[in-house]
Amino acid sequence: MALDTDTPLNSLGFAKPPAQTRVVVAMSGGVDSSVVAAQLASEGYDVVGVTLQLYDHGAALARKGACCAGRDIHDARRVAEETGFPHYVLDYESVFRDAVIDEFADSYLAGATPVPCIRCNERVKFRDLLETARDLEADCMATGHYIQRRTGAHGPELHRAADSARDQSYFLFSTTPEQLEYLRFPLGHLESKDATRALAARHGLQVADKPDSQDICFVPNGDYAAVIEKLRPGAAEPGEIVHADGRVLGAHRGVIHYTVGQRRGLGIGGLSEPLYVVRLDVENRRVIVGPKEMLATRIVPVREINWLGDTPFAEAGEHHVSVKVRSTRAPGEAIVRPTSATAARVELLTPEEGVSPGQACVFYETGGTRVLGGGWIWSG
């Protein structure tokens, strides 16, 4: 549908008044999405809040920092009531388990280090919830993610947040061009989380000082192994801790308790050199350890690539970009060489330590803020 060139675009990019623009806001119950909903409502938009119940909220009522459960559902509902827009809670427990939790457990059992927040965005929030927003005849869906959507020469582009400390682009690399057309991220331009909390206070939101969620929502206190043992009884089978040179150094209580790059908690003290987990041999239930230099990786195989560049991914012989191989690391220069339309070998110009299967490799425009997509690291 062509835009009415005589009508100025509203803040969400539509050529009509806010009152005639319906926006579904994905509300987790935290301060970020609450601010988005309250701010859009104050601008006169036709706001509809939707919260997803993702897992057994009865078991999580007392847990602070648990997204989309118990306390948070209550907080989201209260924001909607106080601000004056409709709010719905949708039961997505079975969808979330099938699309996110089961794969998380199976990935750990296979020796990978998964990132379930990416799968949740990809398979639940930006797929199923987005379709719900369309069913509600919304013009767009807004979230509280810290990332920017900008209009480029070839359509919407994804860019890193203005606040590098809050940037969530690593967790949103799998957003497709079609989804990006429909999504809006009103907080991406803010310079700090303090600015978000100031907006919350201005709107009189009781969640203004609510702490941020720190852990994966369904993993209490960051104890991944306990969750996996509950989901997959008998998963933590004991085995050997073996040096890369073949020496058996000790025993472990289950491969799921270890990750590549780990140094502490190995239980093999008294050795002359510091040792790190360099590989997990799941088939033989072995944790392979070695010196730090064995962690350095230059070539990273990546698959399930989502490409957000302007030209077809596989047509170029190579892409010179910056990449992140962990959410907490700064991007480093790399050459991405496609091996198919959705797979590549990534050469890191500066080797990285602790690159682990199951993590994401996210591509960025070198020297800029644009997110060019990314894919999943595998063992090759």
% of the chain exceeding 70 in pLDDT: 94
Alpha-carbon distance of 109 to 233, in angstroms, equals 11
Alpha-carbon distance of 54 to 78, in angstroms, equals 19
Exactly one of 67, 68, 117, 217 is catalytic; which is it? Answer: 217
pLDDT exceeds 50 at position 106: yes
Q: Report pLDDT for 111.
A: 86
Query: What is the pLDDT confidence band of residue 113, given thresholds at 50, 70 and 90?
Result: confident
Q: Report pLDDT for 235.
A: 81
pLDDT exceeds 70 at position 291: yes
Digit-coded pLDDT (tens) for 191-215:
999 999 999 999 999 999 988 876 6
Q: Report pLDDT for 59.
A: 47
User: Comparing 7 with 57, which gets the higher pLDDT?
Assistant: 7
Active site residue 120: yes
pLDDT exceeds 80 at position 165: yes
Digit-coded pLDDT (tens) for 320-379:
999 999 998 899 999 999 999 999 999 999 999 989 999 999 999 999 999 999 999 998
Q: Report pLDDT for 60.
A: 39
- Full-model pTM: 0.90
Active site residue 361: no
User: Comparing 105 with 25, which gets the higher pLDDT?
Assistant: 25
Distances (CA, A) of 252 to 9, 72, 279, 287: 61, 38, 14, 8
The stretch 292-309 carries a mean pLDDT of 96
Sheet holding 286-290, edge to edge: 248-252, 239-243, 286-290, 276-281
Exactly one of 67, 68, 117, 120 is catalytic; which is it? Answer: 120
Least confident residue range of 2-16, 88-102, 234-248, 362-376: 2-16
Do residues 256 and 228 touch, judged by C-beta distance below 8 A? yes
Q: Report pLDDT for 270.
A: 72
Do residues 255 and 285 touch, judged by C-beta distance below 8 A? yes
Q: Identify the structural domains of the chain with CATH numbers, from first to last.
A: 18-221 (3.40.50.620), 236-290 (2.30.30.280), 296-377 (2.40.30.10)
Q: Report pLDDT for 22.
A: 98
Q: Report pLDDT for 273.
A: 86
Query: What is the pLDDT confidence band of residue 251, given thresholds at 50, 70 and 90?
Result: very high
